[in-house]
């Protein structure tokens, strides 16, 4: 241990992070070990590079952005049935698995506890997790097949998520048979001087590495191996906070199979040209998503000859991947985006600081940055009122909040 400690001290000195051991002596033996292990696992070069980027504006202006083609689910006419039959066959053959990304912090909603445990206020008081589970069970019944469900948590919310599922007996799913949990990657948070923060527990203050961490963690956690063993070829990946998410969609699957693409995504048309959402586009000729902040007013308002917005297809985190695409995307590093956030930490005197304004940088990869790995992908426009009822904000914000999600859910399921 002494030798290791000395090695670590030298490493920290090299990167100007010696403060990470300032509370070391006060920790018990188990925590001491844990801290040293955590430090050993930090990629200090990466942190150094990321810190240097916090000073620069994200550089995207040289990218060439062009519109991307899409299909409208309700304008497929005769092709609808054709694609649907292809998809139905693959689903019945047990080739589809679904993944729910539930590692986010849900800061905007402000719910204490994992977002999936949130009750959106229906008469049934079902949580988001249970609503998703209901959807899967219904499809399993329809297709007479098992649809394995994989849930990504973060180190921060994994324990609570598992306890919740345990308490609810996994909503009838069987752990490690048709429901699986895995933890996403994380990165240390740093302050404005580039110093890694220490958390309340005296260990490294880390945060989940964004929904873009999904590919790598599916691979590293062994989930891809399990999927292959189960005969899975297609994987739907969605967020935990859309209570109308349609994870099993034969038309989307049929399109992907028929067109020979390895990624197929759903979109909904923007509510208005200036809605604050990311939209599908081509970036330097490759599929991508452009954030609303990157788009000029002219681009946001531009329309094609049919009056449709050129950049109007919102990305709603409803994406279908061939397992080969996940393997490819998981082996290539994604760029990290920087967010400036409030983070509770322990200062060098051992005092817990609860900031009331942002004080630390968090680094997140975005799932759609991996889309550039493929030359072509399919985009299917679906109806917002049928498939998109996100719970992002608290009710006082008034949009994408429990109240709006509840209304959409009730309407779609004829509960009024």
Provide the binding-site residues for ligand UTP, judged by CB under 6 A. 101-108, 115, 152, 184, 208, 210-211, 239-241, 317, 392
CA distance 112 to 90: 39
Between 36 and 265, name the residue whose CB sits nearer to ligand UTP. Answer: 265
**Contact residues for 82 (Cβ-Cβ < 8 A; gap 6+):** 254, 258
Cα–Cα distances in angstroms (integers) from residue 313 to residues 35, 211, 304, 370, in the given order: 45, 20, 13, 18
Between 22 and 105, name the residue whose CB sits nearer to ligand UTP. Answer: 105
Helices 78-92 & 128-143 angle (0-180, nearest 10): 90
CA distance 314 to 335: 21
Question: What's the closest the beta carbon of residue 238 comes to ligand UTP, in angstroms?
Answer: 8
CA distance 129 to 16: 43
What is the per-residue DSSP string for 303-323? B-TTS-BTT-EEEEEEEEEEH
Question: What's the closest the beta carbon of residue 363 comes to ligand UTP, in angstroms?
Answer: 10
Element (H, E) at 84: helix 78-92
Between 95 and 211, name the residue whose CB sits nearer to ligand UTP. Answer: 211
Between 12 and 389, name the residue whose CB sits nearer to ligand UTP. Answer: 389
Between 161 and 178, name the residue whose CB sits nearer to ligand UTP. Answer: 161
Question: What's the closest the beta carbon of residue 321 comes to ligand UTP, in angstroms?
Answer: 15
Do 292 and 278 form a contact (C-beta atoms < 8 A)?
Answer: yes
Q: Is 297 helix (H, G, I), strand (E, B) or coil?
A: helix
Question: What's the closest the beta carbon of residue 205 comes to ligand UTP, in angstroms?
Answer: 15
Question: What's the closest the beta carbon of residue 371 comes to ligand UTP, in angstroms?
Answer: 16
Between 101 and 204, name the residue whose CB sits nearer to ligand UTP. Answer: 101
Between 72 and 119, name the residue whose CB sits nearer to ligand UTP. Answer: 119
Question: What's the closest the beta carbon of residue 401 comes to ligand UTP, in angstroms?
Answer: 11
Strands (E), 3-104: 65-66, 71-72, 96-101
- Specify the long-range contacts of residues 324-327, CB closer than 8 Å, at least 24 apart: 324/262, 325/262, 325/263, 325/373, 325/374, 326/215, 326/218, 326/219, 326/224, 326/235, 327/219, 327/224
Question: What's the closest the beta carbon of residue 162 comes to ligand UTP, in angstroms?
Answer: 15
Residue among 380, 68, 387, 75 at smallest CA distance from 254: 380
Between 17 and 404, name the residue whose CB sits nearer to ligand UTP. Answer: 404
Do 300 and 265 form a contact (C-beta atoms < 8 A)?
Answer: no
Question: What's the closest the beta carbon of residue 25 comes to ligand UTP, in angstroms?
Answer: 33
């Amino acid at each position: 241990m002494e030798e290791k400690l000395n090695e670590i001290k030298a490493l920290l000195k090299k990167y100007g992070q010696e403060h990470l051991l300032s509370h070391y002596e006060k920790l018990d033996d188990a925590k001491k070990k844990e801290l040293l292990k955590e430090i050993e696992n930090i990629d200090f070069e990466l942190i150094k590079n990321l810190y240097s980027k916090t000073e620069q504006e994200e550089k995207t202006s040289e990218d060439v952005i062009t519109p991307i083609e899409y299909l409208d689910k309700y304008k497929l006419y005769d092709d609808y049935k054709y694609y649907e039959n292809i998809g139905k066959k693959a689903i019945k053959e047990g080739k589809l698995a679904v993944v729910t990304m539930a590692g986010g912090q849900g800061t905007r909603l402000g719910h204490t506890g994992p977002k999936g445990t949130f009750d959106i206020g229906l008469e049934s008081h079902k949580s988001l997790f249970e609503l998703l589970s209901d959807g899967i069970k219904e499809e399993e019944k329809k297709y007479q097949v098992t649809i394995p469900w994989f849930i990504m948590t973060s180190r921060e919310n994994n324990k609570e998520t598992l306890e919740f599922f345990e308490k609810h007996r996994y909503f009838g799913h069987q752990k490690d048979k048709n429901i699986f949990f895995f933890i996403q990657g994380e990165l240390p948070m740093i302050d404005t001087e580039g110093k890694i923060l220490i958390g309340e527990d005296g260990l490294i203050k880390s945060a989940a590495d964004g929904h873009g961490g999904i590919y790598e963690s599916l691979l590293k956690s062994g989930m891809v191996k399990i999927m292959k063993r189960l005969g899975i070829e297609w994987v739907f990946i969605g967020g935990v906070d859309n209570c109308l998410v349609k994870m099993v969609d034969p038309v989307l699957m049929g399109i992907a199979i028929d067109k020979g693409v390895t990624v197929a995504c759903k979109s909904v048309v923007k509510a208005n040209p200036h809605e604050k959402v990311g939209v599908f586009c081509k970036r330097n000729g490759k599929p991508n998503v452009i954030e609303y902040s990157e788009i000029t007013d002219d681009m946001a308002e531009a329309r094609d000859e049919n009056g449709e917005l050129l950049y109007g297809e919102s990305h709603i985190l409803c994406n279908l991947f061939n397992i080969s695409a996940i393997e490819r995307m998981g082996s290539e590093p994604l760029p990290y985006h920087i967010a400036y956030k409030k983070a509770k930490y322990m200062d060098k005197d051992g005092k817990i600081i609860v900031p009331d304004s942002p004080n630390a940088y968090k680094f997140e990869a975005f799932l759609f940055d991996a889309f550039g790995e493929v030359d072509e992908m399919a985009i299917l426009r679906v109806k917002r009122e049928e498939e998109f009822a996100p719970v992002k904000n608290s009710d006082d914000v008034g949009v994408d909040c429990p109240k709006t999600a509840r209304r959409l859910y009730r309407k779609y399921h004829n509960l009024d």
